[in-house]
Amino acid sequence: MRFLLFIPISISLFFWISAHKKTIRQDFTEVEIEIIYEDTISIRAIALDEDLLMYAGSHGKYGYFRKSKNQKFVPVKNATIDYNGTKPHFRAIDSNASNFFILSIESPALLYKINKKTGAIKLQYVEEGAHIFYDSISFWNDNEGVAMGDPIDGCLSIIVTRDGGETWKKVSCEKLPPMVDGEAAFAASNGNIAIVGDQTWIISGGFKSRVFYSPDKGKNWMVYETPIIQGSTTTGGYSVDFYDDRNGVIFGGDYTNPENNDKNKAITKDGGKTWNLVANGVGAGYKSCIRYIPNSEAKGMVGVGFTGISVSNDSGVTWNTISNESFYTIRFMNDSTAIAAGKNRIAKVTFKTSKK
């Protein structure tokens, strides 16, 4: 009888352990880079959606690729937007189920919707003004999205859609925390906004570098201080990412002094309320984009910039530069493969562990 009871208990225990076994984390030490696209263009905005890769960049250029059966990205469309005789510069991109959305930086700010299936393009939002400069866009879900830009009238420029991107409305300054003189943001990698569920974090920079937080998809906002370097027009947090609703990371510095690694990296473990410096004065200097490595338990991070690719395998405590290849932005396809973009190119980046 004891023996008969032991068999089902053992089988049950085996399946419970298998189901709850954690992913084995890889400590990446090198990369393999495969060029997907080259052109005379600066690309700081890329988006991935299932088998689609889309980009938007300088000189009005945008396009998208579809992944083939052999996992190669095949070009579907590369085009140029002309708006009243000018070619806008795009640095923000994201998507919902049906469309990509690309947003230009300077006045007039132009937000276009591009259908994923047909490629049809439509201008959905225009904003003009002396100080207009948009930095980033992201979607909470298929119906609701947010874009942010530099301050107008003393507050962040934030526009929100609640109808799938058909209409966009600007949030009143009365509903936003005031910004200080010289506080703005950097359109460096479409990395200013992080979203987990209904929660949203936006990083500012310049004379002040803080995190603006909304718990309810942009309906209410508050702001938290950070210890990131600040005090001049080129200092601050350039990119923010959250692994889950507790663990987040800011990366930045000063692009005019890229070797400086003082106060350019910080993490939070309480959802962004408090931030602590990591690897202060050591490791990687300026980076324009930071991303958590998927399935890394908030330990794996990759930072990219024109200074190269740096990796941390211990939640930002230590950093190793594993490539001097220059990129402005990066997005992960899975826990070992990403797409990166920068000056004149888009590339597939495969992270590897050295076998030495």
Q: Which helix (H) or strand (E) holds 66?
A: strand 61-67
> What CA–CA distance (Å, rounded) separates 200 from 213?
6
Render 174-213 in DSSP notation, one character per residue. Answer: GGSPPPPTTEE---SSS-SEEEETTEEEEE-EES--EEEE
Q: Which of 20-24, 32-36, 158-162 has the lowest mean pLDDT?
A: 20-24
Task: Let me know the angle formed at the C-alpha of 110 by 63 and 43, rounded to the nearest 5 degrees.
Answer: 40
Q: 199 has which bridge partners?
A: 196
Percent share of the chain, pLDDT over 90: 90
Amino acid 112: pLDDT: 98
Confidence of residue 130 (pLDDT cuts 50, 70, 90): very high
273-288 tens-digit pLDDT: 999 999 999 999 999 9
pLDDT at residue 41 is higher than 80: yes
Structural domains in the chain? 25-352 (2.130.10.10)
195-227 tens-digit pLDDT: 999 999 999 999 999 999 999 999 999 999 999
Mean model confidence pLDDT for the chain: 93
Per-residue pLDDT, averaged over 151-180, amounts to 97
The alpha carbon dihedral of 345, 190, 169, 242 has a sign of positive
235-273 tens-digit pLDDT: 999 999 999 999 999 999 999 999 999 999 999 999 999
